């Protein structure tokens, strides 16, 4: 236990020292103010980016299901199917506008940073180590991936 | 032109006055720091809300077109149409989760704050001043409207 500095401990008031202390305290507070301002601007940008990504990603299951529904469509030129295909294109366009273009990973070298391997396949005409099939498309550029593509990877025949 | 205070203008240094000035300056900077911190937290919340609304509203034309495409569907129980209807329900659910439930304005009193009148209609069984038909659904609660409903308003027969 250290003794408290009570009222009895009156030190001789040194104005020059007090001025130096206050200048230092003021300078540090001003520096912190500047830091907080800068951090705030950064956080605001990052917060918006995070929110944009979070909201955009909520729509991916909707797009997946829309595509799945269309897979069941036969090749006949049904006007409903045609309309829904146009809507899917529109939805893909909205995601692209938001900064998350649909990825075309077919044939690209498999990269675990942007691809999620769900299975492998080997066969003639397939280049080992490349994406043989995209099972579920990915969205967003390599450096701002919204969702990796789920892919089947080509392997050397064993 | 005011004369500059050059080196020749040395005033008598008053330590007590300098201490008071510094204390005041420090106090004001500290108060501003506190304000900036509070404003920053508020701006961050508001920035996220704005971004959420902006991104969510980008999907409304997609939903509108999906509904329009389904309107062309006949009553036959086509599996594609059934699948697409389920996707539309899912999309409406995503908007609701984001805080923008689909509005059901049919029969409600017309309110220019949340309804956009596109035309009027009069006829038997219609209550004047109410929404007779929703042409394009609105989204979001009254106090956080993402988009007003476009409606046909019932009027007294002239």
Query: Concatenated DSSP letters for A76-91?
Result: S--HHHHHHHHHHHHH
Closest to B30 measured CA to CA, from A32, A35, A22: A32
Question: Looking at beta carbons, which residues of chain A come within 8 Å of B61?
Answer: 90
Buried b (16+ CB within 10 A) or exposed e, B41-57: eebbeebbeebbbebbe
- Look up tokens 């389920």; give the residue: B86
Q: Exposed/middle/buried for A12, CB within 10 Å: 0-12, 13-18, 19+?
A: exposed
Q: Show which of residues 96-115 on chain A sit within 8 Å of chain B, judged by CB atoms.
A: 97-98
Ranges of H-type helices in B15-104: 15-57, 60-71, 79-97
Q: How far apart are CA A131 and CA A105, in angstroms?
A: 7
The ipTM assigned to this model is: 0.80
Judged by CB atoms closer than 8 Å, whether chains meet at A55 and B98 is answered as yes
Judged by CB atoms closer than 8 Å, whether chains meet at B97 and A18 is answered as no
At A9-41, the pLDDT tens digits run 566 778 888 899 999 999 999 999 999 999 999
Average pLDDT, chain A: 90
> From first to last of its 158 residues, what are the pLDDT tens digits of chain B?
444 444 555 667 788 888 999 999 999 999 999 999 999 999 999 999 999 999 999 999 999 999 998 887 765 557 788 889 999 999 999 999 999 999 999 999 999 999 999 999 998 889 999 999 999 999 999 999 999 999 999 998 76
Compare CB distances from B18 to A19, A79, A81 and report the shortest one's residue: A19
DSSP A61-122: HHHHHHHHHHHTS-SS--HHHHHHHHHHHHHHHHHHHTT-PBP--TTSBP-TTTEEEEEEE-
Compare CB distances from A90 to B25, B65, B70 and report the shortest one's residue: B65
What are the structure tokens assigned to A134, written together?
Answer: 């995209």
Question: Looking at beta carbons, which residues of chain B come within 8 Å of A44?
Answer: 40, 43-44, 47
Question: Looking at beta carbons, which residues of chain B come within 8 Å of A81?
Answer: 80
Question: Looking at beta carbons, which residues of chain A come within 8 Å of B89?
Answer: none
Check: CB of residue B83 under 8 Å from CB of residue B129.
Answer: no
At B44-64, the pLDDT tens digits run 999 999 999 999 999 999 999
Q: φ and ψ at B55, to 5 degrees?
A: -70, -40
Identify the pLDDT of residue B8: 52
> Could you give the percent of chain B with pLDDT greater than 70?
90
Measured between CA atoms, how close is A1 to chain B, in angstroms?
A: 32
Judged by CB atoms closer than 8 Å, whether chains meet at B62 and A29 is answered as no
Give the three-class secondary structure for A136. Answer: strand
Q: Does A152 touch chain B (CB under 8 A)?
A: no
Check: CB of residue A145 under 8 Å from CB of residue A138.
Answer: yes
């Amino acid at each position: 236990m250290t003794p408290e500095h009570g009222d009895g401990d009156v030190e001789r008031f040194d104005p020059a020292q007090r001025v130096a202390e206050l200048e230092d305290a003021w300078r540090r507070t001003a520096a912190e103010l500047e830091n907080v301002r800068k951090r705030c601007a950064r956080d605001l940008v990052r917060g918006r980016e995070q929110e944009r990504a979070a909201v955009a990603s909520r729509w991916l299951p909707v797009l997946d299901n829309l595509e799945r529904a269309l897979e069941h469509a036969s090749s006949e030129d049904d006007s409903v199917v045609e309309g829904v295909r146009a809507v899917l294109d529109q939805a893909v366009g909205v995601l692209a506008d938001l900064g998350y273009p649909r990825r075309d990973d077919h044939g690209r070298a498999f990269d675990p940073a942007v691809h999620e391997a769900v299975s492998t396949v080997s066969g003639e005409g397939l280049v080992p180590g490349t994406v043989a099939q995209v099972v579920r498309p990915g969205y967003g550029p390599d450096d701002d991936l919204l969702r990796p593509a789920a892919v089947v990877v080509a392997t050397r025949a064993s």
